[in-house]
Structure 1
Amino acid sequence: MIIFWILTFFVGASAFAFALIGLQLGIVGSIIYAGFAMLVCRGILSLFKRWLVVREHVSAEPDVLERTIETNRAIFWRRSLWLTALPAVYFALMYFIFGLAPLDAVLLLPSILQAFFGQMIYLVFLMFANFALILGPFYILSRIGKTMIVPDDARFGVDIEDVRGQKSAVSEMKRILKLIEHGRLYVKAGGKRERGVLMVGPPGTGKTMLAKAIASSLHVPIYIANGGSFAMLFMGIDAISVYLMVRAARKKAKTWGGCIIFIDEIDALASRRSGMAGGGMMGGGGMMGMMGGGMMGLNMLLVLMDGIDNPGLIIRQLRGLVNLTLDGLFLPRVIGFNGTKLKLRIPALRAPSYNILFIGATNRPSVLDEAVTRPGRFGRQLVFRLPDRESRKDIANLYFAIKQHDPALDTPSRRDEFARITEGYSPADIEQALSLALLYAFEDGRDALNWQDVREAMGNVEAGLALPVEYSERDKIAVARHEMGHAVASHFFKTDHAHVRLSIRRRATAIGEIGGYHKSLPNEEEWMEFRSQLAGDIRHSLGSIACEHVFYGEGSTGVYGDLRSATAIACRMVGTIGMGADKLDPKMSTKATNIGEQLISVAQVSEGMHEQGTWVGAVLNNPRGRRVVAQILGSAYIDDWRLMNVNKEAIDQAVEALIAQGGELMGDEVTGLIDSVGLRAPTAADAYPPDLPMVPDMRPDVVAGSEQTA
């Protein structure tokens, strides 16, 4: 406002006259006195103007920059008035309470300040001591499960080249890491470094191993944390733990030029928050987390990953103080002379940029919060899959090279056989099997493993530890016939498969004991199955119960898992992939349906995985779907029964040979046994199975003496 400047100049002129005439300060002194008076007057008027703007008595400056300057001036002079009021209050208290003149009060001020600051230091010390006593244990707990590794600080005995079976994921990770170490030119050219990478895959496929390899070979620090280590008892501690982790990584990134944060089992930290797709509480909930603390750690991680940060506190405060003071003293922001401009303000500070890469690993990507997996956070996913046959051979070569073994295991045929029979194995499973095989060799007094050790170890990995329990003679033969039923059915109905293992040894698994098992795998690894292949799987499952009915005329409790598996496959064929009933004539279809009704297992509905239980139950609860499932199962049973019935003598010969050879065969040994007994396929003239006992349909009771009318 122009009136403010008129009033300011009037005050300045009056102050100059007063200083020159009344105070006798001379020309220079009077000018300084008048300038100070004008400055104070204009500052008070700026404060008054701001008060009018806040009260909406006048409008603010239309220009944003001018509005900012006026606001800074008001803040400066408000603070200046408060600072001026403090000495006035001090002298007033000294005079009215203690009767001290101003000079005496000034002389007493140093001793008062000394005592005051002494007490303040003591209080600050007590405050920090209390914080340390209360929060210190939580800080220590927040460090558990987290490790910072700098280059050459630790070696995990694994290099990136040792991560086998994941060529695409490893090559992509190498490309990302190269940008972390040498990506300055890439960023200068307009590129953007990856902020987060999510490694997804089944357990044991090499995710954590790759992180160890990165820590061993990379030339930037890596911060390794476990997702479960962020779960804290009290609300908010998980957020503090995440903040401290990122803060430590930023410090290392400043020193080394970059840093990696690896969070293993990240689903423990980044699961869906409450209210999002039905997600529940996550890690960090604890007792106090019931009030909502469970999502604080995730929220903090999301904020810090976005990179929203400010420059350091001290430099921000210093810049603000300098610019505020210069605005308050009415100094221009820019001065120029002969076309040269000089800025008199500290420019806006750039937010710091940290070269930090977040890497998460999980085998449960479906439970992660959507905000975590969006682009810009963990949007880049590296999928780790179970290795194919060539990859398994490559993995086996790696582990055989570091373990002493029989030279016979180095032949191409043996390595091919090992790669074939380990289908479904993860790299961790292969390493465990070979380590266990070497342990068996040492227990036997040998320093090198052989094929027999590998066989025993693989049996333990696949089906559990062999139990030193002897069967009764009846059970031994019954179990052998049961498993031979599987093997014979696989031999005829899964011709594209090769036998892997046939065993009647009792083994302990996580869900109980098994009496034996048969396993076969396809000759070629395929990613798609046709109906005939699924029908062969059902016949493989039902070969056991058909064999028992042929030899004993009844089934045993050992078919529990077989019926469950066969029912699940048939329900999948009918309910999810549009495969109808078997092509049979009406009479045979009715017979198959009646037999299959008694083979349906509801165990899959109640004990299977939630998703499977849902669709299996849906198919079986549909009358038409249930009859189609029954027909498929009954048709498979008929084929199995006829096959077992025409090969009773051959099966018993195979049973005797299996028992004589220790009760366990692998690979080509199983194939040789099956081929040696002369099995044959049934012909049209061979017998069909009798109908299984049926329960009559329930009919409504008719009350005696009642009459029915048309």
Structure 2
Amino acid sequence: MGKTGRPLRSRVQRILTRGWHWWWRRGIWIVGLGGLGYWAYVEPVVLNALILLLRFALQLLFAITFVIIQFVALFWFMSRSRVEVIKPGDPKQVTLADYWGQENLVRLVRQWIDLLSNRERFVKMGGQFINGILLAGPPGTGKTMLAKAIAGEAGIPFISIEGSSFRSMFWGVDVLKMMWFVGKARKLAREYGACIAYIDEIDAVGASRGGVMGGERVGPLGWFGWGGTGALTRLLYEMDGITQLTRWERIKGRIYRLLGKRPPPRNWHVLFMGATNRPDALDPALVRPGRFDRIIYVDLPDRAGRREIIKGYLSKVKHDPNIDIESLVADTAWATPAKIMAAITKDAVRIALFNGRDYITQRDIELALQEQAMGLENPIAEMDPIQRRQVAYHEAGHAVAQYYLLPDERIIRASLIRRTNMPGALGYVHSAPKQELYTVPLRRLVAEIMVSLAGHVATKIFMGEYWTGASADFQHVRRRILTLLDLGYFGFHPLKPEEPERYQEIIERFWAECEEKVERLLREHAAEVEAVAQALLERHDLSGNEVIAVIEAARAGQPIALPVPIPASPSSGA
């Protein structure tokens, strides 16, 4: 009894001591304020001083509150970025029926679409949704279009943002932006059952934090640095915690357990999707399983894909029914779906309207594709005739060598018109393989080298001396020679092919041999070179069919008659 009484008395004493101290401190404040009030009551000077002091304190409090509100409002405003939201039923919604040219990708993504559309069966089986899909590929191949089509096909909302939108001059704003973006995606997912949160150019926010593979380090500027990784860290946190219960779900779970019931499983999910043309620059933590679980490469479409894309976009515009689709397919091995779309639905329609037609023709599309590949026309109004003749012989040499040395390639166009995408080039010959090339014999690389040298050699033959204008051709020749060197074309495999000066003698001898062969070829077919050059001087721009017609007529010794475009009748695409 005595032992238990002592701790009890000690606790009572501590409570009384703390209470006495509390009342003592409050008493001092009460007495002090009361005395000050009485002093102010009897002394008007003290009263005025207290009023001034109180006014200053209120003004200071107002100023501090105003600054805090402004600061919070500024950060709130900066944390908002431009996003695109497409909900089910939106006129901008697209489905896989609108995504052409990538049948294998469509078959692949249908599995995840079925999971997003039929969530209940998947959850009942105990399945776990994937957190993210990364789309990688060159610009314009349809990565964003594919993400939108997945959302539209599954009947769920789509929210997207640019990766560069997360950058800010203030430290911490990128984190707020990421929290706001993911919060908006969660809200849409709870409303519709699922949502796709898409970050375009995700390498702008997800670059490697180690300063390697294109990553950035945090700079010394602190609050005003551009190199922070806060948005990336927050994205990783959000992707890891996307399956964790929210506060409301935890409260609802407790209520269910109090009622003796099992809490229902979550019936919504956020699927993160990102797009990049630099997957090697992404942080390894971002692309591991559990975050971006799948990486899908969206490459240029093959021949069958381009045919489907061209037919799809032709169906949306009024066009000539006699358009040669196979010719367009053969001419666009270099083109992305975005460039084909722009050429048919924008540039070709513009060209047709300015030519007084309400439908597009084969020539309109060909000119539009040239604009996409080479840029807009930028002709030289007054060029010295001798200089123009030199350019004509240069391009004619390329065309004739292309015709004889690379018969598996199709000449698309030969032109003396300068283009905006080719700075420094006064003309060009555009060609494309007739079939898709995935692997080629080394002799084909040699033929490409000879075609590149043909313009320079033709100038020497027909103008009597070498001229400038072949620097781009020589760069292509050097790259091809280094490739041949690396692949063992010269009979050995160098340990350091990046040091070509060690093999200078072999390279010079090979270069001279190629020039000699090209010169013999062009002298043998001098009539064709002369004919193509004269046609270019007269017309300035020739289609591939016109170039071939000129070469074959000159070879047969017949008069050159360029084909005249046949007027066409319109056809509605819809």
TM range (shorter): 0.7 to 0.9
Structure 1 residue 653 corresponds to structure 2 residue 564: no
C-alpha distance 404-318 of structure 1, shift in aligned 2 (>3 A): closer
Query: Out of 176, 183, 205, which is 2:119 matched to?
Result: 183
C-alpha distance 455-94 of structure 1, shift in aligned 2 (>3 A): closer
Deviation at 1:318, TM superposition (A): 12
Give the whole-Å Cα distance in 2 for the aligned partners of 1:428 and 1:444: 25
C-alpha distance 94-234 of structure 1, shift in aligned 2 (>3 A): closer
2:499 corresponds to: 619
1:62 corresponds to: none
1:296 corresponds to: 230
Alignment of 1:390-539 (within 5 A): 390-409=304-323, 414-434=324-344, 435-470=346-381, 471-509=383-421, 512-539=423-450
Query: Out of 489, 507, 513, which is 1:629 matched to?
Result: 507
C-alpha distance 391-179 of structure 1, shift in aligned 2 (>3 A): same
Structure 2: gaps (5+ residues):
32-58, 558-574
Counterpart amino acid of residue 297 in structure 1: A
C-alpha distance 350-678 of structure 1, shift in aligned 2 (>3 A): same
Counterpart amino acid of residue 653 in structure 1: A
Alignment of 1:268-283 (within 5 A): 268-277=204-213, 279-281=215-217
Tell whether the 8 Å contact from 2:390 to 2:463 is kept in structure 1 after alignment. no
Give the whole-Å Cα distance in 1 for the aligned partners of 2:252 and 2:359: 70
1:140 corresponds to: 77
Tell whether the 8 Å contact from 1:311 to 1:351 is kept in structure 2 after alignment. no
Give the whole-Å Cα distance in 2 for the aligned partners of 1:459 and 1:207: 24
Deviation at 1:405, TM superposition (A): 1.4
Query: Out of 650, 663, 672, which is 2:540 matched to?
Result: 663
Query: Out of 625, 650, 673, which is 2:550 matched to?
Result: 673
Give the whole-Å Cα distance in 1 for the aligned partners of 2:147 and 2:88: 14
Partner SS state of residue 280, structure 1: coil
Counterpart amino acid of residue 620 in structure 1: P
Give the whole-Å Cα distance in 1 for the aligned partners of 2:441 and 2:481: 13
Deviation at 1:163, TM superposition (A): 1.4
Q: Deviations over 1:448-507 (max 9, x none)?
A: 111222222222211121124243321232111111111111122112222221112222
Alignment of 1:224-235 (within 5 A): 224-235=160-171
More contact order relative to length (CA 8 Å, sep ≥ 6) = 2
Q: Deviations over 1:65-89 (max 9, x none)?
A: xxxxxxxxxxxxxxxx99x998665
Alignment of 1:109-120 (within 5 A): none
Query: Out of 348, 352, 364, which is 2:278 matched to?
Result: 364
Deviation at 1:257, TM superposition (A): 2.1
1:161 corresponds to: 97
Give the whole-Å Cα distance in 1 for the aligned partners of 2:150 and 2:66: 40
Structure 1 residue 267 corresponds to structure 2 residue 203: yes
Give the whole-Å Cα distance in 2 for the aligned partners of 1:541 and 1:506: 19
Deviation at 1:560, TM superposition (A): 0.8
Structure 1 residue 580 corresponds to structure 2 residue 490: yes
C-alpha distance 235-643 of structure 1, shift in aligned 2 (>3 A): same
C-alpha distance 314-568 of structure 1, shift in aligned 2 (>3 A): closer
Partner SS state of residue 393, structure 1: helix
Structure 1 residue 306 corresponds to structure 2 residue 217: no
Tell whether the 8 Å contact from 1:230 to 1:297 is kept in structure 2 after alignment. yes
Structure 1: gaps (5+ residues):
1-5, 15-39, 46-80, 100-121, 321-342, 583-614, 681-710
Deviation at 1:556, TM superposition (A): 1.6
Counterpart amino acid of residue 248 in structure 1: K
Out of 218-227 and 476-485, give the one that drifted further. Answer: 218-227
Q: TM-score normalized by structure 1?
A: 0.66
Q: Deviations over 1:580-612 (max 9, x none)?
A: 169xxxxxxxxxxxxxxxxxxxxxxxxxxxxxx
Identity %: 29
2:560 corresponds to: none
2:87 corresponds to: 150
Give the whole-Å Cα distance in 1 for the aligned partners of 2:159 and 2:66: 29
Query: Out of 132, 140, 152, which is 1:204 matched to?
Result: 140
Give the whole-Å Cα distance in 2 for the aligned partners of 1:508 and 1:366: 31
Deviation at 1:178, TM superposition (A): 2.2
Give the whole-Å Cα distance in 2 for the aligned partners of 1:300 and 1:124: 35
1:595 corresponds to: none
Tell whether the 8 Å contact from 2:215 to 2:282 is kept in structure 1 after alignment. no
C-alpha distance 370-387 of structure 1, shift in aligned 2 (>3 A): same
Larger of the two Rg values belongs to structure? 1
Tell whether the 8 Å contact from 2:189 to 2:268 is kept in structure 1 after alignment. yes
Q: TM-score normalized by structure 2?
A: 0.81
2:572 corresponds to: none
Tell whether the 8 Å contact from 1:199 to 1:383 is kept in structure 2 after alignment. yes
